Amino acid sequence: MPNDEIDINLPNVPDKPDIVAEDISIPILFEDDYLIIVEKPAGMVTHPAYKNHTATLVNALLFHIAKTASNLSAINGIERAGIVHRLDKNTSGILVVAKDEDTHRKLSKLFSVHNIEREYAAVCWGHFNKKKGTIEKPLGRSQKDRKKVIVREDGKLAITNYEVVKEYEFLSLVKLNLKTGRTHQIRVHMHSIGHPVFGDPDYEGRKPHGVPLTNKNKEKIKQLLELLPRQALHARVLGFTHPITGEKLHFESDLPEDIKRVIECVESGV
């Protein structure tokens, strides 16, 4: 009503913790005055966020650039300093980081028009009927669990090309190329065609698919999953034209040791 007094009590919102530089070793594949190519290990969050304010790639990068007296792009704030694109916490592989805003904008443009070569390697459950193909399914957040992504008709366009590189007893090594860059894209797409990424805790990758569940196989699967507590997914290749110098850049990364161990075990029959 007119002239009524309304009291509003706002809860105290805690300040965001400072993002500090941390002496964390990260493999650097290339660096110049404009950008850095790094190899993110599995288990490392790309940038600080809710419940993850330390030990991220950004924390490590801040320490690195302090030593080299350079900078990181501030387009997205200190929490995402230099970050042009990201990888899931438990996905390993190659990332490009921008040192200045101009480079950042131009790299983002390359990603937006899909003028970036990105290849992933994944170990997936089962054998594929089609050894090569394209998955084109729209993706969006699950309404039941906002942390997860699902195939949904009203989602955003997502396109993944895949090719089977090698088949094992009940797993396949697969090469994947992204035509779009949606959250969890490869993991959701592979799950949607019945071949989840091996070890993936969120998209049924820790459940057998396409394998007879004999006692022998059950024991073997248990041993393999113990070797790999994460999804067997690695960003193996990154290539693009340097947005400032015009140089053609191409980087490749070997499979990490944990994924190699799984492959060695299935190859040897252990």
Domain coverage including residue 235 = 118-270
Say yes or no: 133 and 65 in one domain: no
Say yes or no: 266 and 159 in one domain: yes
User: Which tokens belong to 46?
Assistant: 């790309």
Residue 109 lies inside a defined structural domain of this protein: yes
Catalytically annotated residues: 88
Residue 157 lies inside a defined structural domain of this protein: yes
pLDDT of residue 9: 57
In sequence order, the 6+-apart residues with CB closer than 8 A to the CB of 230 are 42, 43, 90, 91, 199, 200, 201, 258
Total-model pTM: 0.91
- Please give the tally of structural domains in the chain: 2
pLDDT of residue 13: 46
Say yes or no: 67 and 122 in one domain: no
Exposure string for 148-157, b = 16+ CB within 10 A, e = fewer: ebbeeeebee
Q: Rounded distance, CA 184 to CA 140, Å?
A: 10
Among 85, 113, 141, the domain-final residue is 113
Say yes or no: 107 and 163 in one domain: no
pLDDT of residue 15: 52
Say yes or no: 84 and 211 in one domain: no
Digit-by-digit pLDDT tens for the chain (270 residues) are: 566 666 565 555 455 557 899 999 999 999 999 999 999 999 999 999 877 789 999 999 999 999 887 899 999 999 999 999 999 999 999 999 999 999 999 999 999 998 999 999 999 999 999 999 999 999 999 999 989 999 999 999 999 999 999 999 999 999 999 999 999 999 999 999 999 999 999 999 999 998 888 898 899 999 999 999 999 999 999 999 999 999 999 999 999 999 999 999 998 876
Say yes or no: 244 and 173 in one domain: yes
Say yes or no: 41 and 122 in one domain: no
pLDDT of residue 208: 95
pLDDT of residue 70: 86
Say if CB 111 and CB 179 are below 8 A apart: no
Residue 3 lies inside a defined structural domain of this protein: no
pLDDT of residue 263: 96
Residue 59 lies inside a defined structural domain of this protein: yes
User: Which tokens belong to 74?
Assistant: 């501030």
